[in-house]
């Protein structure tokens, strides 16, 4: 069960007692779940040093991790990274432009954690485009393309009554499917299996399924054992083993 989101002054997430904002995922594990390189996710969440002509500087993170020491992410951090992947990796927006939008939303519009908000989903990102389009400098064709990208990503997030994410259906492989009918058999939900990926119809851990296949059991045997379809077993294995 989740605790409710408390509103005060700014729209803040009532984080400390909510499973969705508890430290839960080491960086490499989180990167594997959302199918981005660990080094990329580290830069997005913890920043990184880089050389300059005058010495060294520091890349400022875009996502605020729930725990710096030890470096751990929350479920909500996973959602932010999932959306940032849509903007950054699959559509090529510059880090500077996305950071400007996130900073502007917090400073001028009192919206914290922009990448976590359901407003981003309305009309496939229309609100995002209306408010931050100039910062991202989108052409008309760019706006159309971005709507398609956001739609593919945000339809994989379930939201609660307070308009915050409760469940993520990650992409099966590192290359997202484009089909609107793409199935979503895998889920990450803080209430199930300690927030680890499961086959959503039965709550069976994808890691457990992959481990049993590696031990020599067959797809048909596992499907019968867990009362799953063979397709669900295969999706679980592909998700666990996809690069």
How much is the pLDDT for 97? 73
- Do 79 and 168 touch, CB atoms closer than 8 A? yes
Q: Is residue 226 part of a domain?
A: no
Q: How many domains does one find in the chain?
A: 1
Q: Is residue 235 part of a domain?
A: no
Residue 217 bridge partners (DSSP)? none
Q: Is residue 121 part of a domain?
A: yes
Q: Is residue 192 part of a domain?
A: no
How much is the pLDDT for 87? 79
Range of the domain at 60: 19-163
Cα-trace Rg, the chain:
19
How much is the pLDDT for 180? 46
Please, how many CA atoms are within 13 Å of residue 158, restricted to the half-sphere of its CB?
Answer: 14
Task: Per-residue pLDDT tens, the chain, 243 aa: give them.
Answer: 444 443 443 445 454 478 999 999 999 999 999 999 999 999 999 988 777 777 777 788 889 999 999 999 999 999 999 988 887 776 667 777 778 777 877 787 777 787 887 666 554 445 555 555 555 555 566 666 666 777 778 889 998 887 789 999 999 886 665 544 467 999 999 999 999 999 999 999 999 999 999 999 999 999 999 999 999 999 999 999 985
Q: Is residue 33 part of a domain?
A: yes
Q: Is residue 76 part of a domain?
A: yes
- Do 171 and 178 touch, CB atoms closer than 8 A? no
Give the residue among 155, 93, 101 at the shortest CA–CA distance from 124: 155
Phi-psi region of 198 (alpha: psi -120 to 50; beta: other; left: phi over 0): beta
Q: Is residue 27 part of a domain?
A: yes
How much is the pLDDT for 25? 97
How much is the pLDDT for 117? 73
CA gap 116, 84 in Å, rounded: 10
Phi, psi of 58 (to 5 degrees): -130, 130
Phi-psi region of 35 (alpha: psi -120 to 50; beta: other; left: phi over 0): left
Give the residue among 184, 131, 114, 127 at the shortest CA–CA distance from 153: 184
Distances from the Cα of 195 to the Cα of 14, 166, 205, angstroms:
19, 11, 10
Give the N- to C-terminal CA distance of the chain in Å, as an integer.
Answer: 33
How much is the pLDDT for 48? 83
Cβ atoms within 10 Å of 47's Cβ, excluding its own:
13
Q: Is residue 100 part of a domain?
A: yes
């Amino acid at each position: 069960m989740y605790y409710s989101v408390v509103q005060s002054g700014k729209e803040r997430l009532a984080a400390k007692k909510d499973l969705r904002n508890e430290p839960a995922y080491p960086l490499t594990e989180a990167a594997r779940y959302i199918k981005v390189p660990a080094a990329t996710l580290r830069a997005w969440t913890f920043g990184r040093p880089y050389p300059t002509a005058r010495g060294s500087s520091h890349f400022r993170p875009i996502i605020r991790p729930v725990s710096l020491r030890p470096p751990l992410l929350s479920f909500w951090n996973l959602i932010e990274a999932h959306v940032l992947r849509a903007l950054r990796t699959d559509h090529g927006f510059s880090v500077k432009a996305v950071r400007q939008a996130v900073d502007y939303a917090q400073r001028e519009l009192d919206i914290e954690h922009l990448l976590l908000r359901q407003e981003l989903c309305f009309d496939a990102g229309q609100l995002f485009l209306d408010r931050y389009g100039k910062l991202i400098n989108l052409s008309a064709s760019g706006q159309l393309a971005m709507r398609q990208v956001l739609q593919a990503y945000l339809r994989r997030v379930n939201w609660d009554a307070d308009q915050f994410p409760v469940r993520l259906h990650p992409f099966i492989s590192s290359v997202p499917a484009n089909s609107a009918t793409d199935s979503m058999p895998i889920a990450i939900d803080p209430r199930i299996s300690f927030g680890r990926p499961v086959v959503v119809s039965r709550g069976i851990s994808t890691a457990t399924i992959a481990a049993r296949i590696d031990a020599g059991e067959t797809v048909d045997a596992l499907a019968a054992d867990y009362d799953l379809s063979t397709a669900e077993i295969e999706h679980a294995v592909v998700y666990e083993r996809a690069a």
